[in-house]
């Protein structure tokens, strides 16, 4: 089934302890879409300035990602993020975040987009996430991501959002901030009680946790010795997870767990190079092969 | 098969964000032995001062732990450790470590102890670990733990130790320090090349990783919402792991992975209360029950 994602298209500048890249392709909806494209057809909704290279659009279209929902604002500047990773490659400092054109993005979705059964609200302004939900009232599965900025600046609107979605995906520090709980198991269930039927907490190099009324589990990350740039790992995780759910057309407990595993595996490729460079070199078969290793790793 | 452990008997003073305990039962060999006692018969070798409460010896004996290798030094003081956990309950500050009687411990093992086929050198002075290896030259499986203090102060003797053992167990920050590698997968394999046939890196609330020539895997921690005091989790992990290997009487790859899982599960109980208080309330059946949940959690 088709999958709609709304989020940022970005130009990222990244410093790691050994390398740096300027203005490379990034953004939550971009990583998400590319990851999901291994599994299902994706419609990307977002906005960019006229500094957005046409080759990036072409790259995403080469993965059959529907880019008709992407608006290019003449004279506008694309969302930009600059970050620096610490030596452990898991912690990072955001040096600069320019919302630019996404700050005033007010999309009106075409009818075909509104009817998309699977919906993901990638990281972006909470108000924008509400606007999309207003237009996609018939979606079968509505999942959102959020981040510290919105938890701190828009707590009431975020609380309302949590009551309108089926699932929430966020990282560990955000879960602690939102719940006020240090223990992640307690945090997950506490956030679940704020509205969503399930909550996923991403732990970076330590994998991801899942919480629903009847289930609590954690799956480890795939142990890759080659971590070049973790940017986009969380969005790729969400893309792999939602892409697989959309492909399967359901979100039964068993499908959700498989989807979590696919999310973890797509993310494990993402971190092996800058931007989308590693994903550009893999196909679904590579995911399948790593999935076999992953299942074997967890069997005893 | 019987299992011999050499390490500390300790009196711990622990502060968590919400509670504190003074001079409670602790020490690497104590946590290890109690955890291993669910699986096999354990011989504990260690030393204490005459401040060591006789009831602690009785408690360990009630688990069929052979305490004949424990020396009580008249007028001596038992090893003491004082630590404070940070809000996340994973990081801690060691406020005080008094080696006391263990600093000069120079055991001569009885013949029956020397013939023990499974040997664990729990956290303690590297020189003491060498002395035990000298006496147990016929052991089938020799595994050691180490920590920052010995990595920093006795690097040459530790390097020699690594060439004399089959397995090394250590935590993530120690693995980074010993290998000089930030990535834990790279660190694990780099340490393996220093001598041991397998390396286990403990990641606290994030589980544990295993490295041998042909295998790399990670198993997550059991997600408990109740983390009261993480002290002894790493030693309990090692006790559960080695206890299971000794019970099975082999260390084939499949047995090693099951042993890792048992280690993780014993540790998940240890952290649910101070000192050995939680372990005192469980039996092997409770471990078995949690193992079923854990296997289910990792199946998809």
Residue B281 makes CB contacts below 8 A (sequence gap 6+) with none
Scan for tokens 């969503």, then name that residue: A196
Q: How confident is the model at residue B88 (pLDDT cuts 50, 70, 90)?
A: confident
Looking at residue A107, its pLDDT comes to 95
Work out the average pLDDT over B200-221: 97
Work out the average pLDDT over B284-291: 98
For A172, which residue in chain B has the nearest alpha carbon? B88
pTM of structure: 0.94
Which three-class secondary structure state does DSSP give residue A136?
A: coil
Looking at residue B134, its pLDDT comes to 97
Work out the average pLDDT over B33-55: 98
Looking at residue A292, its pLDDT comes to 98
Work out the average pLDDT over B49-67: 97
H runs (alpha helix) in chain B: 28-36, 54-61, 111-114, 126-135, 148-153, 155-162, 172-179, 184-192, 233-248, 253-270, 284-297
Looking at residue A138, its pLDDT comes to 87
Interface-testing mutation among A227, A262, A264, A300, with chain B (most B C-beta atoms within 10 A): A300
Torsional class of B275: left (φ above 0), alpha (ψ -120 to 50), beta (otherwise): left
Q: Which residue among A185, A189, A203 sits closest to B206, beta carbon to beta carbon?
A: A203
- Contact yes or no for B300 and A254 at CB 8 A: yes
Q: Would you say residue A91 has pLDDT above 90? A: no
Looking at residue A90, its pLDDT comes to 81
Looking at residue A25, its pLDDT comes to 98
Q: Would you say residue B138 has pLDDT above 90? A: no
DSSP state letter for B249: T
How much helix, strand and coil, in percent to the nearest 5, is found in chain A? Answer: 40, 25, 35
Q: How confident is the model at residue B48 (pLDDT cuts 50, 70, 90)?
A: very high
- Contact yes or no for B183 and A89 at CB 8 A: yes
How far apart are the C-alpha atoms of A109 and B66, rounded to whole Å?
73
Work out the average pLDDT over B38-54: 97
Work out the average pLDDT over A150-171: 97
- Contact yes or no for B216 and A203 at CB 8 A: no
Q: Poorest-confidence range of A35-49, A163-177, A194-208, B90-104?
A: B90-104
> Chain centroid to CA B163: how far?
20
How far apart are the C-alpha atoms of B50 and B71, rounded to whole Å?
10
Looking at residue B90, its pLDDT comes to 81
Q: Express as a percent the part of chain B with pLDDT over 90.
A: 96
Spatial contact of B230 and B216, defined as CB atoms under 8 Å apart: no
For B215, which residue in chain A has the nearest alpha carbon? A297
Q: Tens digits of per-residue pLDDT, A213-268? A: 999 999 999 999 999 999 999 999 999 999 999 999 999 999 999 999 999 999 99
- Contact yes or no for A300 and B257 at CB 8 A: yes
Work out the average pLDDT over B25-35: 98
Looking at residue A5, its pLDDT comes to 98
How is residue A5 written in tokens?
């994602």
Looking at residue B89, its pLDDT comes to 87
- Contact yes or no for A203 and B203 at CB 8 A: no
- Contact yes or no for B297 and A186 at CB 8 A: no
For B254, which residue in chain A has the nearest alpha carbon? A300
Looking at residue A31, its pLDDT comes to 98
Q: Tens digits of per-residue pLDDT, A100-150? A: 999 999 999 999 999 999 999 998 889 999 999 999 988 999 999 999 989
Looking at residue B124, its pLDDT comes to 86
Residues of B with CB under 8 A from a CB of A: 17, 87-89, 182-186, 189, 203, 205-207, 209, 216-221, 223-227, 254, 257-258, 260-261, 295, 297-300
Mean pLDDT of chain A: 96
Residue A160 makes CB contacts below 8 A (sequence gap 6+) with A130
Q: Would you say residue A89 has pLDDT above 90? A: no
Looking at residue B58, its pLDDT comes to 97
How far apart are the C-alpha atoms of B112 and B31, rounded to whole Å?
23
For B185, which residue in chain A has the nearest alpha carbon? A225
Spatial contact of B51 and B20, defined as CB atoms under 8 Å apart: no
Q: Would you say residue B15 has pLDDT above 90? A: yes
How far apart are the C-alpha atoms of B192 and B211, rounded to whole Å?
7
How far apart are the C-alpha atoms of A51 and A10, rounded to whole Å?
11
How far apart are the C-alpha atoms of B260 and B252, rounded to whole Å?
12
Q: Would you say residue B24 has pLDDT above 90? A: yes
- Contact yes or no for A223 and B217 at CB 8 A: yes
**Residue among A203, A233, A215, A213 at smallest CA distance from B220:** A203
What are residue A291's DSSP bridge partners? Answer: none
Across the A:B interface, residue pairs with CB atoms under 8 Å apart total 78
Interface-testing mutation among A88, A176, A298, A299, with chain B (most B C-beta atoms within 10 A): A298
User: What does residue A129 show for φ and ψ, rounded to 5 degrees?
Assistant: -60, -40
User: What does residue A78 show for φ and ψ, rounded to 5 degrees?
Assistant: -70, 150
């Amino acid at each position: 089934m088709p999958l709609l994602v709304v989020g940022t298209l970005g130009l990222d500048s990244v410093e790691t302890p050994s390398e740096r890249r300027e203005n490379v392709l990034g953004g939550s909806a971009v990583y998400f879409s590319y990851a999901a494209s291994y599994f299902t057809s994706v419609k990307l909704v977002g906005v960019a300035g006229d500094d957005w290279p046409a080759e990036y659009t072409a790259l995403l279209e080469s993965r059959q990602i529907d880019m008709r929902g992407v608006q290019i604002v003449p004279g506008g500047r694309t969302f930009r993020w600059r970050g620096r990773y610490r030596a452990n490659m898991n912690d990072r400092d955001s040096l600069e975040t320019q919302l630019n054109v996404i700050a005033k993005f007010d999309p009106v979705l075409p009818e075909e987009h509104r009817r998309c059964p699977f919906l993901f609200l990638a990281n972006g302004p909470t108000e924008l996430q509400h606007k999309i939900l207003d237009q996609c009232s018939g979606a079968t599965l509505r999942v959102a991501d959020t981040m510290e900025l919105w938890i701190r600046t828009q707590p009431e609107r975020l609380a309302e959002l949590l009551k309108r979605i089926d699932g929430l995906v966020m990282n560990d520090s955000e879960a602690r901030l939102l719940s006020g709980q240090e223990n992640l198991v307690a945090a997950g269930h506490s956030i679940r009680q704020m509205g969503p039927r399930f909550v996923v907490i991403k732990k970076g190099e330590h994998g991801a946790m899942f919480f629903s009324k009847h289930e609590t589990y954690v799956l480890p990350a795939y142990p890759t010795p080659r971590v070049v740039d973790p940017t986009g790992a969380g969005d790729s995780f969400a893309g792999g997870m939602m892409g697989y759910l959309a492909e399967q057309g359901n979100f039964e407990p068993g499908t959700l767990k498989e989807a979590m595993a696919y999310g973890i595996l797509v993310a494990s490729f993402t971190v092996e190079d800058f931007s989308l460079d590693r994903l550009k070199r893999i196909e679904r078969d590579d995911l399948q092969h790593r999935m076999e290793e992953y299942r074997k790793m967890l069997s005893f």
